[in-house]
């Protein structure tokens, strides 16, 4: 299964919609390195937050403000990671605020994970 990366233009809030192809189980994806402002109630291990039912979507809304760059998300349980619940997140800078370097010639998200020998789905 291909793991699509999620790209967003940095405005005031970012909406991160889970896709049925990625999240078809009740995971709790953490966004490693991103400060999760105004959504701490949506992030926690299974049992502390409501699960996402199979075949349904959930939209995380978090305030990223001045955070730009490449990040990744992954579930807190290894079982969900084995089932494919991880991917990349790119947060772009605002068009009005220049960055001190030129735009890259290309942009790729490469995810390297463990080799899972069992089918956990």
pLDDT of residue 66: 74
List pLDDT tens digits, range 88-97: 777 777 777 7
Alpha-carbon dihedral angle through residues 16, 21, 22, 25, given to the nearest 10 degrees: 110
Note whether residue 48 is domain-resident.
yes
Note whether residue 108 is domain-resident.
no
Note whether residue 121 is domain-resident.
no
Read off the pLDDT band of 42 (50, 70, 90): low
Q: Any idea what the CATH number is for the domain that residue 74 is in?
A: 2.60.40.420
pTM: 0.50
> Above 50 in pLDDT, residue 29?
no
Q: Which domain holds residue 25?
A: 6-92
Read off the pLDDT band of 104 (50, 70, 90): confident
Exposed/middle/buried for residue 75 (C-beta within 10 Å: 0-12, 13-18, 19+) = buried
DSSP three-state, residue 9? strand
Domain count for the chain, please give it.
Answer: 1
Note whether residue 49 is domain-resident.
yes
Cβ contact 6:90 at 8 Å: yes
């Amino acid at each position: 299964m291909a793991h699509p990366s999620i790209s967003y233009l940095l405005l005031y809030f970012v909406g991160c919609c889970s896709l049925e192809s990625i999240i078809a189980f009740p995971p709790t994806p953490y966004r490693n390195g991103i400060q999760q402002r105004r959504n701490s109630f949506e992030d926690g291990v299974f049992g502390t937050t409501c699960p996402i039912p199979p075949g349904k979507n959930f939209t995380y809304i978090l305030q990223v403000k001045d955070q730009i760059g490449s990040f990744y998300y992954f579930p807190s349980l290894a079982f969900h990671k084995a089932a494919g619940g991880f991917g990349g997140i790119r947060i772009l800078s605002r068009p009005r605020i220049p960055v001190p370097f030129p735009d890259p010639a290309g942009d790729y998200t490469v995810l390297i994970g463990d080799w899972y020998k069992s089918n956990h789905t």
